Chains A and B, each alone.
Chain A
Amino acid sequence: MNSPATTTADINTPLNIKWSLRHRSTLVSVGLSGLTYFIAVVACIPLFSVLTMLIWRGGQHLSLRLFTETPPSAFAEGGGFGNAIVGTIVMVGIAALISVPCGIMGAIVLAECGPESRTATIVRFCAKLLTGFPSILAGVFTYASVVLVTGTYSAPAGGIALSILMLPIVMLTAEEAMKSVPRKMREAAYGMGATQTQVIWHVILPTALPSMLTGVMLAVARAAGETAPLLFTALNSNYWIIQDGQQALMEPTASLAVLIYNFSGVPFKNQLELAWAAALVLVLLVLTVNLCGRALADSQKHY
Chain B
Amino acid sequence: MLTLQKPHRHVETVIHSEVLIDCRIENLYYGDFRAIRDCDLSIERGKITAFIGPSGCGKSTVLRCMNRMNDLVQGFRIDGQIHFQGQDIYHPSVDPVAVRRHIGMVFQQPNPFAMSIYKNVAFGLKLNRVKDDIPGRVEDALRRAGLWDEVKDKLKSSALALSGGQQQRLCIARAIATEPQVLLMDEPCSALDPIATRRIEELMLQLKERYTIVIVTHNLHQAQRIADKTAFMYVDTSNSSRTGFLVEYADTHRLFNHPQQEYTLQYLRGEFS
Contacts and interface: CB of A to CB of B under 8 A. Distances in A.
Contacts of B109: 184
B263 interface: no
A193 B127 contact: yes
Contacts of A303: 114-116, 119, 158
Contact of B97 (A187, A193, A207, A301): A193
Contacts of B116: 302-303
B266 interface: no
B268 interface: no
A30 interface: no
B107 A302 contact: no
A15 B67 CA distance: 61
Interface of B: 67, 69, 72, 74, 97-102, 104-105, 107, 109, 111-116, 119, 123-124, 126-128, 158, 160, 171, 174-175, 178
Interface in A189-204: 189-195, 198, 202-203
Given A190-B72, A198-B127, A302-B160, A185 B104 contact: no
Given A190-B72, A193-B127, A303-B158, A184 B101 contact: no
Contacts of A184: 107, 109, 111
20 contacts: A182-B111, A184-B111, A187-B111, A188-B111, A188-B113, A189-B123, A191-B69, A191-B100, A191-B104, A191-B107, A191-B175, A192-B124, A192-B175, A192-B178, A193-B98, A193-B101, A193-B104, A202-B126, A206-B114, A303-B114
Contacts of A182: 111
A195 B97 CA distance: 6
A193 B109 CA distance: 19
Given A198-B127, A207-B114, A303-B115, A192 B101 contact: yes
B240 to A, nearest CB: 28
B113 A207 contact: yes
A190 B158 contact: no
Instruction: Identify the interface centre among B72, B126, B128: most chain A CB within 10 Å of its CB.
Output: B72
B104 A192 contact: yes
Contacts of B175: 191-192
Contacts of A192: 100-101, 104-105, 123-124, 127, 174-175, 178
B105 A191 contact: yes
A185 B105 contact: no
B127 A194 contact: yes
A188 B105 CA distance: 8
B178 A302 contact: no
B97 A188 contact: no
Contacts of B174: 188, 192
Nearest to B116: A303
B113 A191 contact: no
B72 A206 contact: no
B111 A185 contact: yes
B168 to A, nearest CB: 12
Given A192-B175, A303-B119, 17 more contacts: A116-B74, A185-B113, A187-B69, A187-B107, A188-B174, A191-B69, A191-B100, A192-B123, A192-B127, A192-B178, A193-B99, A193-B100, A193-B128, A194-B97, A203-B113, A303-B114, A303-B116
A193 B101 CA distance: 5
Nearest to B119: A303
A302 B157 CA distance: 9
Interface in A253-303: 301-303
A207 B158 CA distance: 12
Instruction: Identify the interface centre among B69, B74, B101, B113: most chain A CB within 10 Å of its CB.
Output: B113
Interface in A160-195: 182, 184-185, 187-195
A214 to B, nearest CB: 16
Contacts of A187: 69, 72, 107, 111
